[in-house]
Amino acid sequence: MRSRLIKVVGVVAASATLALGASACGGKSKSGGGDTVTIGFMGDLTGENSGLVIPPKQGAQLAIDQYNATNPKVKITLKTYDSQGKGEQAVPLAKQAITKDKIAALIGPTFSGESAQADPVLEEGKVPNISSSATNAALATHGWKFWHRVIGNDNVQGTGIGEFISNSLKAKKVFVINDSSEYGKPLAETVKATVTKGGAQTSEDAIDVQASDYGATVNKVKAFAPDAIFFGGYYAQGGKLIKQLREGGVKARFLSGDGSLDKGLAQGAGGTNADGSVIGCPCLIDPSGTASAASKKFAVDYKAKFNADPAIYSAEGYDAATAYIEAIKAGNTTPEKINDYLSTIDKPGVSKEIKFSSTGEPTATDVYVYQVKGDQLPLLGNAKNATVK
Amino acid sequence: MNNLFSQFWPYTIDGLSLGAIYALVALGYTMVYGVLRLINFAHSEIFMIGTFAALGTLHLIGMPANVGGFALVGLVLLLAVAGGVASGGSAVILEYVAYRPLRRRGASRLAALISAIGASLFLQQLFARLVIPKAFGLPKEKGALPVQGHFAHKSDVIHIGSFELSNDKLIVIVGAVLMMIALDMFVNRTKLGRGIRATAQDPETAVLMGVNIDRIVTATFALGGAMAGVAAALYMLRFEETRFDVGFLLGIKAFTAAVLGGIGNLRGALVGGIVLGLIEMYGAAVFGSQWQDVVAFSVLVLVLMFRPTGLLGESLQQARA
C-alpha cells in the first residue's frame, strides 16, 4: 500500500533487530514438521485502514481453505498478526512469528511503511514474505532475498496510467498535478515522463494538501487547455480538485492513481462532477468477473464464502497465498526451500501471472483502470487495452 | 508569467474572494488583540464551528441541492445568521471559560496565549472524535475526514472575454465587504463601539470613565466570532466542504492578514486580507502553486521590515478616521 509512514525509523529498527535476532534465529525454524505448515498474515486487521487489509486476508484464507479441502498430504494453517499498520508493532510481531510460532512463510506486511521496518527482520530470520499491497518502489532496492510482492509498484502504476493516457485516450496535451507527497510526486513524475515519451505536451503544478482553494491550479489548467489531467495524490484532495476544476469550467478528463480509488473521490467532487474520471491501480477489483475466467471463478467463490464482493487487494491476497500453496504442493515445507521455489515459480494467478524477478518484484506489469460512475468505481479493464466509453 | 497575463482576471477574482474570507476572519484576531493585547489562537476553531453550524443548518432544512439565483442569496443569508450565532456564541463561551478566569487572577499574557493554544487543540479533537461522528452518524474513526454539503448551483454572472465572475465568488466578495462596512460603522457610531475603542486605547482610563470592561470584552468576542461565523458561511458557499482542522491553515493566513494590515486596526484587516489573497494567487501564477505560501510570507516579512506596524498602522482607535 502507499507509504504514509515515515521510514527513517526502519533503519534504526533494522539494526536493533540484527543484534536481537541473531541469537534467536540460531535454531532452524522448522515449521510443524509433518502434517501442517503455518503461514502468517500480517497487516492492519483492526485499525482505521483495516478496510484495505481485511480483503487480502480473506483472499488468502479462501486460497488456503480451498487447498486444505483437497485433503493434501501437508495442510496449511493461516495465522494472523495484527500490526495495526504500524512498523513499531510489526517488528516485534515478526520476531514472534519467526522464533516462537516458527512460521514457514508470511503474507504481508500490507503497507509500505511497516514493510520498510519489518522486512529486514524477516530477511534476517530467513522467512519468505510476499506483500499483497505494499507499492513503494524503494522496497525492491535493498537486495532482500526473502522479500516479494504480487502487486506492481508505483513506477509500474505510473507507466501503466501514462500509456493509457497516450494510447487509449490519445491525449496530446496533459496537465499533471501532484500533492507534493512521497507517494503522489514520484507517481505524477512517472506519468509525466511516460506521456512525454508518447508525444504529448505537458505542463504541471503542485498543490498544498492543507489548502482549500486550488484556484491558482485551476487557472493554470485553463490557460493550458489540456485534453487530460492527471493527479498524483489521495482522494480527499482529488475530489476537491475535480470540483473546483469543473466549477472553473474545465471539462478535460480527470485521471488519478490508487490513492484516489475510493468512493470519497466522487463525494468530494459533488454531484456528477467526477463521472467519467479514470482511476488506475495495479490492483484488480473485479466483483463481476469480467477480467478473466480465473477472476470470474475467484469472484464467485469469494462471494460464496464471505457473502461479500471481492474488494481492494483481495485478488492479490489470494495470489500471494497461491504462491506458497504451489511451493508446498511441490514438496517444499521449510522457509528456505519455499523461498528457493519462489524464485522459479511461474503460475497463472487471479490478478496476474505469479512470477518474480530476482529483486522480488512481480514480472507482470498489469495496471487496471476504473471509471467513476456515480459513487461507484466499476472496472474498465486492463490499462493496456481498455477503452473509455 | 504567461499564466498571469493570460489568466489575469480569474486570478484576481480568486484572490479577492479568498482575501475577503481571510479579512472577515482576521477581524476577530484584530479586535481581540486591540482590546486585550491577546492573540486568540482558538479563533480558527471558532471559524470551524461556524462551518459546521452552516452545514448543520443545511441538513436541518433538508439539504437543498442546486440552489441558484436569489434563492442562493437568501440561503447564504440564513447560513450566515446560523454561523454568526454559533461562532459568536462559542467565542463568548470560550472567553468565559479559557480567558476570563486567567484575567481575573491577573495571569500573564503568556498564560492566556497557552490557554488559547490549548483551547484550539481541545476544540479540534472534540469535533474530530465526538461532535462530527455523532452529528453526521459516521463511525468514530471517520470523524477526521472531510464532510461535504453540496447545495449551490454555480454559474457565471458576468462573462466578458477572460473576465468571468461566478455567482458564489460575487456573493463572497460583496457579502464580506458589506459586513466590514457594517462592523466599521458599529464600532465608530454606537455607544458600545465607543466603549470598545476606549478600552483599546487605554483600559484603565476607560474603567475610570465608567466603561464596564467585562461587557466590552464579551462584546468584542461576540462581534469577532460573529464575523468568523459569516466568513464560515461564505466559505461553505465557496468550497461546500469542511473538516475538524479546516480553521488551522486559514486561521494562520487570517492572522497573517491582520498583521499585514496592522493588527488592532479594523480597516487594516480588510486591506491585509485582500492584499494577502491577491499576493497568494499572483505568486502561485508566477512561481507555481506550491510556492504560494512562500511568496505570501516573504511579502509579509518585506512589509514588516519597512512598516513594522503593518500597512495601515496598529491601533484600533486610529480606525476612527
Is the separation of the CB atoms in B123 and B42 below 8 Å?
yes
- Are A266 and A274 within 8 A, CB to CB? yes
Which positions in chain A touch B289 (Cβ < 8 Å)? 205-208, 214, 216-217, 220
Q: Which fold has domain A8-152+292-354?
A: Rossmann fold (3.40.50)
Among residues A381, A163, A160, which one has the least CA distance to residue A292?
A381
Q: How many domains does chain B have?
A: 1
Q: Which of A174, A132, A148 is nearest to A1 (CA)?
A: A132
Contact residues, chain B to chain A, C-beta under 8 Å: 2-3, 6-7, 10-11, 14-15, 18, 65, 141, 145-146, 148, 150, 154, 164, 166, 235, 238-241, 246, 248-250, 280-281, 284-285, 288-290, 292-293
The span from the CA of B228 to the CA of B123, in Å, is: 16
Residue B4 is assigned to a structural domain of this protein: no
- Dist. CA B24–CA B276, nearest whole Å: 13
For chain A, the domains span 8-152+292-354, 155-281+367-382
Share of chain A above pLDDT 90, in %: 76
Cβ–Cβ < 8 Å for A325, A130:
no
Inter-chain contact A248–B146, Cβ cutoff 8 Å?
A: no
Which of chain A's residues have a Cβ under 8 Å away from the Cβ of B248?
Answer: 210
Amino acid at residue number A68: N
CATH node for A155-281+367-382: 3.40.50.2300
Nearest in space to B250 (alpha carbons), one of B110, B45, B89, B6: B45
Q: Which helix (H) or strand (E) holds B104?
A: helix B100-104
**A31-69 burial: b if 16+ Cβ within 10 Å, else e:** bbeeeebbbbbbbbbebeebebbbbbbbbbbbbbeebbe
| pLDDT value, residue A6 | 44
* Alpha-carbon span B83 to A250, nearest angstrom: 31
Q: Distance (Å) from the C-alpha of residue A24 to the closest C-alpha of chain B?
A: 38
Q: Is the pLDDT of residue B319 over 80?
A: no
**DSSP state string for A136-205:** -GGGGGG--SSEEESS--HHHHHHHHHHIIIIIS--SEEEEEE-SSTTHHHHHHHHHHHHHHTT-EEEEE
Q: Do A215 and B14 touch (CB under 8 A)?
A: yes
pLDDT of amino acid B315: 58
Give the best residue of B243, B290, B291 to mutate against chain A (max A CB count within 10 A): B290
**Range with the lowest mean pLDDT among B229-238, B264-273, B292-301, B306-315?**
B306-315
Residue B91 placed within a domain:
yes
CATH fold match for the domains A8-152+292-354 and A155-281+367-382: yes
Q: Is residue B275 part of a domain?
A: no
Q: Which residue of A has its CA nearest to B153?
A: A247
A334-389: pLDDT as tens digits: 999 999 999 999 999 999 999 999 999 999 999 999 999 998 999 999 998 888 87
Q: Residues near B103 by Cβ (< 8 Å), separated by ≥ 6? A: B36, B112, B217
Return the number of CB contacts < 8 Å for A and B.
Answer: 84
Q: Do B2 and A248 touch (CB under 8 A)?
A: no
Sort out which chain B residues have CB atoms less than 8 A from A208's CB and list them.
289-290, 292-293
* Cell 450566515 sits on residue: B80
Handedness of CA A361, A362, A365, A369 (dihedral sign): negative
Contacts of A222 in chain B (CB under 8 A): 7, 10
Q: Measured between alpha carbons, how far is residue A225 from residues A66, A218, B289 in Å?
A: 53, 10, 17
Burial string for A318-343 (b: 16+ CB within 10 Å, else e) reads bbbbbbbbbbbeeebbbbbbbbebbe
Nearest alpha carbon to residue B225 among B6, B11, B48: B48
Question: Does some domain include residue B11?
Answer: no
Structural domain includes residue B34: yes
- Contact criterion met (CB < 8 Å) for A219 and B164: no
Number of helices followed by number of strands (H, E) in chain A: 12, 14
**Contact between B285 and A220 using a beta-carbon 8 Å cutoff:** yes
- Which residue from B minimizes the CA distance to A243? B239
Distances in whole angstroms, Cα of residue A34 to Cα of each of A103, A233, A371, B162, B218: 14, 48, 49, 77, 79
Inter-residue contact B34 to B219 (CB < 8 Å): no
CA distances from B250 to A69, A254, B19, B176, B241 (A): 59, 27, 11, 16, 14
Strand locations in chain B (E):
147-148, 156-160, 163-166, 241-242
Average pLDDT of span B173-199: 94
The reported pLDDT for the residue numbered B291 is 87
**Residue A106 near residue A128, CB atoms below 8 Å:** yes
pLDDT at residue A48 in the model: 73
Contacts of A249 in chain B (CB under 8 A): 164
The boundaries of the domain holding residue B102 are 21-141+148-247
Q: Which residue has the cell 473521490?
A: A265
For residue B12, which residues of chain A lie inside 8 Å, CB to CB? none
Residue B131 lies in a domain: yes
User: How large is the average pLDDT for residues B110-139?
Assistant: 92
Positions of chain A with pLDDT lower than 50, given as ranges: 1-33
Spatial CA neighbour of A135 closest among A229, A232, A228: A232
pLDDT at A16 (0 to 100) = 46
Instruction: Tell me the chain B residues in contact with residue A264 when contact means C-beta distances shorter than 8 Å.
Output: 145
Alpha carbon distance B13, B274 (integer Å): 11
Alpha-carbon distance of B152 to B65, in angstroms, equals: 6
**Whether A270 and B148 lie within 8 Å, measured CB to CB:** yes
All cell numbers assigned to B43: 479563533
Q: What are phi and psi of B269, to 5 degrees?
A: -65, -40
Please identify which residue in the block is written with the cell numbers 454561523.
Answer: B83
pLDDT in tens, B260-285: 999 888 999 999 999 999 999 999 98
